[in-house]
Structure 1
Amino acid sequence: METYPKTAAAMKRGTDFLGCETAILCGAMSWVSERNLVAAISNAGGFGVIACGAMTPELLDREIKATRALTDKPFGVNLITMHPDLMELIDVCAYNQVSHVVLAGGIPPKGSIESIHDSCAHSDGAKVICFAPTLALAKKLLRSGADALVIEGMEAGGHIGPVSTSVLAQEILPELSADHLIFVAGGIGRGEAIASYLEMGAAGVQLGTRFACATESIAHPDFKKAFFRASAREAVASVQVDPRLPVIPVRALKNKGTEEFTAKQREVAALLDEGGIDMAEAQLQIEHFWAGALRRAVIEGDVENGSVMAGQSVGMVTREEPAADIIAELMGQCEAALTR
């Protein structure tokens, strides 16, 4: 870090909070953010985050232990708030002394933040990071006990909110960043953008798409090739078919899989009409669809029928390179921008 003095100073609140050298978090990408990539990012000075996704408590326990075997640096665990076993997953994080838990996918259920604070990690408990797509929700989450927030714009890959990163940053950073830790995410592909958010008061940033094709990522070679070929405009948001089915839009590369998702929504909406399932089960079915479609693309390499989740920064991903090189490039660009 001694070669990036201005960036290190601008990121100090973030690095103190995360316990790492560089306040760059890797966004949790299901099937991609597993032990190998998480450990590589943490070993390179960033902050890796395990994507729990639809894992069972037993699987998460194994993944945390396997990641610990590859790095002695801090890393976090991302939990989906609608997971039916959320409290058991929190217990797994506590048992493994995880230092940071990221809650994503909706408002954290009652008692979940308190449980993480009380049971995880050190004497003062684990730190809780929450996603805030609006200023009002950001304030509510901070009142509820969140230690830090990620504000993620619609340019991001995977599940997205309705507002762009630049607008969210302008709304939220001037109001909250003096007293709270805010990390900015969505569409960040270069260090100059990182510098601009740090200057606005961000404690750090989160990137997913730039890391998806890292050398250490276990994603299938065909999945990575789809990224290298894609431009920003090919990473499109999914369409909501039925207003009663509040499906969080997902950004992915346009293919047959995006059409299949539209058909899946119609199928689930019909089941709702018939009273065959309730709303919670409907949303779970949608989540399971995404988990399966994502696995087909990431692990099996079926980039036509699977879900190739990617942010609009995908046009800046042109080759496979080690996570350490990606972080060094981002930091160098950020330092140059802050020095100017």
Structure 2
Amino acid sequence: MTDAGRQRLDALMARGSALLGSEVAILCGAMSWVSERNLVSAVSNAGGFGLIACGAMTPELLDAEIAGTKALTTRPFGVNLITMHPQLFDLIAVCAKHAVTHIVLAGGLPPKGSIEAIKDAGAKVICFAPALSLAKKLHRSGVNALVIEGMEAGGHIGPVATSVLAQEILPELASELPIFVAGGIGRGETIAAYLEMGAAGVQLGTRFVCATESIAHPAFKKAFLRANARDAIASVQIDPRLPVIPVRALKNAGTEAFTAKQREVAQMLDEGKVDMGQAQLEIEHYWAGALRRAVIDGDVENGSLMAGQSVGMVTSEEPVADIIATLVREAAGALASRRELA
């Protein structure tokens, strides 16, 4: 890694790093059951920016998780909250109590008053924008930064590829506010390319699952190490009345079980046992349970193996610091080589 390449990388990441308070503008995406105190603190300690995945946690559980993370790092980290969580404002209050500096809102449009509640507590708000129109709306709403995540990502995904979103959104809004690109990123050369397009930084999830510090079950990690890009497939929506957000995961028996779960929830909807909001929560609770079975219990046949298409680039279990150092070296090398060719 040349000094010129690293200097160029730092310059391109400067706005993102300043917003996050980290050495490099690399966020570790919030992955339920994986992005907990150990991985989050390791990422922040290594110069990146860790995010606690709140998911379906109660306020009490989130309170303990934030406290546990603060015991392991003095560096900034954030909390990812799901907008449809029934106790969203209680969770925001827990973050405020701990003076959490950054909150990421995911899973849909932020409900009325949530952005203001976060900013009133002194934290910065980062939101996901799967389309240019929504990105503009969120910008007008006063968010501090955006994450644009393409369908190559693991877990809940939108319908558009990362490269297309970047071409649509970065030229329009990158000069207005910091934008982090996510989805399918596994190497530093790609990070360099998005930075040159105007991104303030990037977010990666799949690349960190097999980190030494990740508490994911050895069987879960082994499934990642064996997989390639085509193994990470998106779930299929079987009932157009039930707006299920597709989930990308490694194909297994759990993939088929989700199809059955959708039929069950659709029938409950038909019979008036649940309304649409409750139906969506049923689906979310299914994913939380299925993911736990895989990540924590190691049931890689029946649990959910959420993974992005970059999973084929995860080839070994290694410390977080080494992963970040490799990404930085690759990105700086790509930037240096392009300058030499210019």
Normalised by the length of structure 1, the TM-score is: 0.98
Structure 2, unmatched stretches of 5+, are: 338-342
- CA shift at 1:2, angstroms? 10
Select which of 257, 275, 281 maps to 1:260.
257
Partner of 1:173: 170
Native 8 Å contact 2:2 2:333 kept in 1: no
**Structure 1 runs, 4 residues or longer, greater than 3 Å off:** none
Give, in whole Å, the separation in 2 of the partners of 1:197 and 1:49. 21
Partner of 1:80: 82
Query: After superposition, what is the alpha-carbon deviation per residue over 1:8-53, rounded to whole angstroms, capped at 9, x for unaligned?
Result: 1110000000001010000000000000000000000000000000
Q: How does 1:7-86 map to 2 (within 5 A)?
A: 7-86=9-88
User: Is 1:134 equivalent to 2:155 in the alignment?
Assistant: no
The letter for the 2-side match of 1:251 is: R
Partner of 1:320: 317
Q: How does 1:100-249 map to 2 (within 5 A)?
A: 100-119=102-121, 125-249=122-246
The letter for the 2-side match of 1:72 is: T
Give, in whole Å, the separation in 2 of the partners of 1:2 and 1:110. 48
- CA shift at 1:5, angstroms? 1.5
Native 8 Å contact 2:180 2:203 kept in 1: yes
Query: After superposition, what is the alpha-carbon deviation per residue over 1:200-221, rounded to whole angstroms, capped at 9, x for unaligned?
Result: 0000000000001100000000
- CA shift at 1:184, angstroms? 0.1
Q: How does 1:79-98 map to 2 (within 5 A)?
A: 79-98=81-100
Give, in whole Å, the separation in 2 of the partners of 1:43 and 1:6. 23
The letter for the 1-side match of 2:39 is: L
- CA shift at 1:178, angstroms? 1.1
The letter for the 1-side match of 2:229 is: A
- CA shift at 1:145, angstroms? 1.2
Native 8 Å contact 2:2 2:332 kept in 1: no
Q: Count how many residue pairs are aligned between Structure 1 and Structure 2.
A: 335
The letter for the 2-side match of 1:335 is: A
Give, in whole Å, the separation in 2 of the partners of 1:281 and 1:55. 17
The letter for the 2-side match of 1:44 is: A
- CA shift at 1:177, angstroms? 0.3
User: Is 1:304 equivalent to 2:301 in the alignment?
Assistant: yes
- SS at structure 2 position matched to 1:11: helix
Give, in whole Å, the separation in 2 of the partners of 1:170 and 1:2. 29
Query: After superposition, what is the alpha-carbon deviation per residue over 1:290-309, rounded to whole angstroms, capped at 9, x for unaligned?
Result: 00000000000000000000
Give, in whole Å, the separation in 2 of the partners of 1:111 and 1:245. 27
User: Is 1:280 equivalent to 2:282 in the alignment?
Assistant: no
- CA shift at 1:191, angstroms? 0.2
- CA shift at 1:152, angstroms? 0.0
The letter for the 1-side match of 2:59 is: P
Normalised by the length of structure 2, the TM-score is: 0.97
Q: Which has the higher contact order (CA 8 A, sep 6+)?
A: 2
> What percentage of aligned pairs have identical amino acids?
76
Structure 1, unmatched stretches of 5+, are: 120-124
Two-structure CA RMSD over aligned residues (Å): 1.0
The letter for the 1-side match of 2:98 is: N
Native 8 Å contact 2:23 2:47 kept in 1: yes
The letter for the 2-side match of 1:208 is: G
Give, in whole Å, the separation in 2 of the partners of 1:243 and 1:161. 16
Query: After superposition, what is the alpha-carbon deviation per residue over 1:223-269, rounded to whole angstroms, capped at 9, x for unaligned?
Result: 00000000100000000011110000000000000000000000000
The letter for the 1-side match of 2:107 is: G
Give, in whole Å, the separation in 2 of the partners of 1:309 and 1:106. 19
- SS at structure 1 position matched to 2:305: coil
The letter for the 1-side match of 2:196 is: E
The letter for the 1-side match of 2:102 is: H
Give, in whole Å, the separation in 2 of the partners of 1:89 and 1:204. 26
Partner of 2:7: 5
Partner of 1:122: none
- CA shift at 1:159, angstroms? 0.3
The letter for the 1-side match of 2:199 is: A
- SS at structure 2 position matched to 1:49: strand
- SS at structure 2 position matched to 1:116: helix
Native 8 Å contact 2:2 2:336 kept in 1: no
Partner of 2:340: none
